[in-house]
Amino acid sequence: MTEVVLGVCGGIAAYKACELLRLFTESGHGVRVVPTASALRFVGAPTWAALSGRPVATEVWDDAHEVPHVRIGRAAELVVVAPATADLLAKAAHGIADDLLTNTLLTATCPVVYAPAMHTEMWENPATQANVATLRARGAVVIEPAVGRLTGADTGKGRLPDPSAIFELALRVHRRGLAFDFAGRHVVVSAGGTREPLDPVRFIGNRSSGKQGYALARAAAARGARVTLVAANVTLPDPAGMEIVRVGTTEELRAAVVKASGDADVVVMAAAPADFRPATVAQRKIKKTEDGTPEAITLVTNPDIAAELGASKRPGQVLVAFAAETHDALEHARAKLIKKRADLIVVNEVGVDRVFGADHNEVTLLGADGSTQSFGQLRKDDVADMIWDEVAALLERQVGDGGTA
Positions marked catalytic: 206
**CA distances for 165 relative to 191, 239, 243, angstroms:** 18, 6, 14
Run of H or E residues at 212: helix 211-222
Tell me if 82 sits within 8 A of 124, measured CB to CB. no
Q: Which amino acid is at 287?
A: K
Which of 92, 113, 110 shows the shortest CA–CA distance to 101?
Answer: 92
> How many Å apart are CA 9 and CA 76, to the nearest integer?
18
**CA distances for 49 relative to 52, 80, 120, 310, 394, angstroms:** 5, 17, 32, 54, 47
Tell me if 281 sits within 8 A of 195, measured CB to CB. no
Residue 273, sorted as left (phi over 0), alpha (psi -120 to 50) or beta, turns out to be beta
Q: What is the DSSP letter of 139?
A: T
Tell me if 221 sits within 8 A of 211, measured CB to CB. no
Phi, psi of 314 (to 5 degrees): -75, 155
Whole-angstrom Cα Rg for the chain: 24
